[in-house]
Amino acid sequence: MKDIANKIKAIAQDLLEKGEVSLFMGWEQGEFEFQTRPFFARTSQDAEKLIFNEYSIHNLANALLKFRDGQEKIGLVVKGCDSRGIVRLLEDLQFKRERLYIVGVCCPGLKDPLEAARAHSGFNPQAAPAPLAAKCRSCLQPNPVIYDQLLGEEQAPRSEGERYAQVHEIEKMSADERYRFFEEMLSPCVRCYGCRQACVACNCRTCIFDETKPQWVGRETSASDNFMYHLVKALHMAGRCVECGECERVCPVNIPLMLINQKLIKDVNQFYGPYEAGLNYVEGAKPPLSVYKENDPDDFH
């Protein structure tokens, strides 16, 4: 990874010195080894701080949303999951391809800095961070799907058991069992909206959950309001979730949000597929639920 980090630094410095990009996004080192965090370099001196290590896990595609209204060209590093996030932004017309210089890194699988922080917090001294972050243990696409320059050796997809095993288990439950399962799963949700903030597909300028007139979804952390939040978010993710796993990774109360996302992915795949969001960028293409044709056999509801 040291070699990749040095190459990223050199590319960023070159682009910034030549004025080919106005800023370059990567990661910098925090106080502890596991505290890698996103960093925006604006000068070649800034770029000295760029690193790439086993904790460079944050999806930088999401950070692009801060710059969607500008004109400046931005360089950034993407792993496989981040690159699918870039496709999401391009398809959603949040960014133009020509505004990006993408350095792709074939990703060997990374560790979760939040998990490491918990293990170092002193509250749970027995906890040892897993060798790979949960999202990396079942990564379908570790290699970038869109890039201007590619670094590292191509990686094989990783899989921890059958992809939809847990979804199948839940599908076998009765309606009442399912209700109880999700009630229990979602009851710890504190509605911090961290899962929304970390999500590259949650890119609406005005989010339904922030509206107050009318207030579509209550603010309580009651079962009904929590259900409403997660149901609405799920519907907005159908056919659009790029499986980057960031929502689940940042959840402070460890809600297994990927279970909901995998059910959506499985159903969209089955009804409209084969379809995997963000795996290919075709200019002008849209996710299945974002298009409607006048000769569609179904009514528009």
Q: Which residues contact ligand SF4 (rule: CB under 6 A)?
A: 57, 79-81, 107, 109-110, 135-136, 139, 142, 189-195, 198-201, 237, 241-247, 251-253, 255, 257, 261
Spatial distance between the Cα atoms of 147 and 5, rounded to a whole number of angstroms: 17
Closer by beta carbon to ligand SF4, 119 or else 189: 189
CB of 28 to ligand SF4, least distance (A): 17
Q: Which residues contact 145 (CB under 8 A, 6 or more apart)?
A: 80, 83, 84, 87, 278, 279, 280, 281
CB of 24 to ligand SF4, least distance (A): 19
CB-based burial, 252-272: b 16+ in 10 Å, e otherwise: eeebebbbbbbbbbbebbeee
Closer by beta carbon to ligand SF4, 16 or else 112: 112
The dihedral through the CA atoms of 152, 241, 65, 99 has a sign that is positive
Closer by beta carbon to ligand SF4, 4 or else 241: 241
CB of 152 to ligand SF4, least distance (A): 11
CB of 139 to ligand SF4, least distance (A): 3
The dihedral through the CA atoms of 247, 248, 252, 255 has a sign that is positive
Closer by beta carbon to ligand SF4, 75 or else 144: 144
Strand partners, 37: 28
Closer by beta carbon to ligand SF4, 9 or else 240: 240
CB of 161 to ligand SF4, least distance (A): 16
